[in-house]
Structure 1
Amino acid sequence: MAVLFQGGHMSYGYSQPPGKSRTGLIVSLSVVGGVVVLLAVGVLIAVLSSRGSSSGGLRPEEARATPAGEGSATPVEPPSLGGADARGDVRITGCRVDSLTEWPDADVEIVNGSDGRASYIVSVEFLDGDGTRRASGLATATDLAAGRKSVQKAQGLGEVKGRMTCRVAEVTRLPSQ
């Protein structure tokens, strides 16, 4: 209890303890929100892949990983600008494993080969030396004009040790409005 003197009068008041910090709550809710967004993107990819791709059975592009510090992988053939096949609009230009985290990533080049504006969702798989899938990542380009190029990064979240291959697993092209 605190006693205050104001203008010759004595006043009694109680001081309240300082409020609790809500920083922990905010950080926790942010992390949970991020996980929910990642799960939603995963469900979207699963739904899109269950509908089948427009690849027509073409072999996915692949690029070999380069050990950290040795530069990027040899590019795969450039994408074609014609035809209705969205997989032909995408190629992997770099494939590597971070030496600290051992997480893989791939540089993905997307060239819009359609006649109008389009958005792309590209699923990339990261395979170990035995061909076993160890991680996956996404690269996206939105509202890309016909004939225009976008370079994006697909980040894998799993550890890959030793030799690795990056492979385009799925390409979805959606017309932009």
Structure 2
Amino acid sequence: MLMVLLGVLVSSGADDVATTERSAAASPADSSPSSSAEAAPAEAPAKAEPTDGPEGDVKITGCAVDDLTDWPSADVLITNRSSKESNYIVSVEFVDESGKRLGDALAASNNVAAGQKVETTAQSLDKVTVTVECRVTEVTRYAS
């Protein structure tokens, strides 16, 4: 299913912007995002999950390359840990095993109540024919 992000209006008073390096991996033949997550390569030390700010609100739960379209996508879980209803914009990049960027996508969700969890998808339209890793590169959270 092709999801199109028609537009997201970001207020000039955004209260939190952060960058993370959390990721998940997927190969082009993966069709089930939940079964495609892999651990980071053994030679790269695992980084601790951020716990402060909006970057701690976002987790990649699946990373897949559609075997029909060759488009990568990332399943994103947003948990609003702030005290206010908030809007989120999540930037995701898709990289190969050497770290070369192959594409990117956005996921967004508006009016997420304090404490609420929301699942959304970041879908790229870039064709990918190799195994990819999905990485959150930026999280913007602002009050609704």
Match of 1:61 among 22, 27, 34: 22
Q: What secondary structure sits across from 2:17 in the alignment?
A: coil
Letter in 1 for 2:83: D
How far apart are the structure 1 equivalents of 2:74 and 2:142? 22
Q: Does 1:105 align with 2:73?
A: yes
Distance 1:154 1:170 in 2: 13
2:128 maps to 160
The equivalences for 1:1-177 within 5 A come to 54-55=17-18, 59-66=20-27, 67-69=29-31, 71-73=35-37, 80=51, 83=52, 85-176=53-144
Cα distance in 2 for partners of 1:62, 1:131 equals: 12
- Counting strand residues as a fraction of each chain, which structure ranks higher? 2
> Retained in 2: the 8 A contact 1:128–1:161?
no
TM-score by length of 2: 0.75
2:50 and 2:82 map into 1 onto residues whose CA distance is 12
Identity of aligned residues (%): 43
Query: Which protein is richer in helix relative to its size?
Result: 1
Structure 1 unaligned runs (5+)? Answer: 1-36
Report if the CA contact (8 A) 2:25-2:36 is conserved: no
- What is the letter of the counterpart of residue 113 of structure 2? A
* 1:175/1:59 CA distance change after superposition, 3 Å: closer
Q: Deviation above 4 Å: which 4+ runs of structure 1?
A: 74-80
Q: Which has the higher contact order (CA 8 A, sep 6+)?
A: 2
**Structure-1 separation of matches of 2:123 and 2:98:** 21
Measured against aligned partners, the alpha-carbon deviations of 1:24-47 in whole angstroms (never above 9, x if no partner) come to xxxxxxxxxxxxx86x76xx79xx
Question: What RMSD over aligned residues (CA atoms) do the two structures have, in Å?
Answer: 3.0
Greater Cα radius of gyration, structure 1 or 2: 1
Q: What is the one-letter code of the residue matched to 2:97?
A: G
- 1:166 deviation in Å? 0.1
Distance 2:20 2:49 in 1: 15
List per-residue Cα deviations over 1:43-78 (Å, max 9, x = no partner).
x79xx9xx9x733xx641111114424633159988
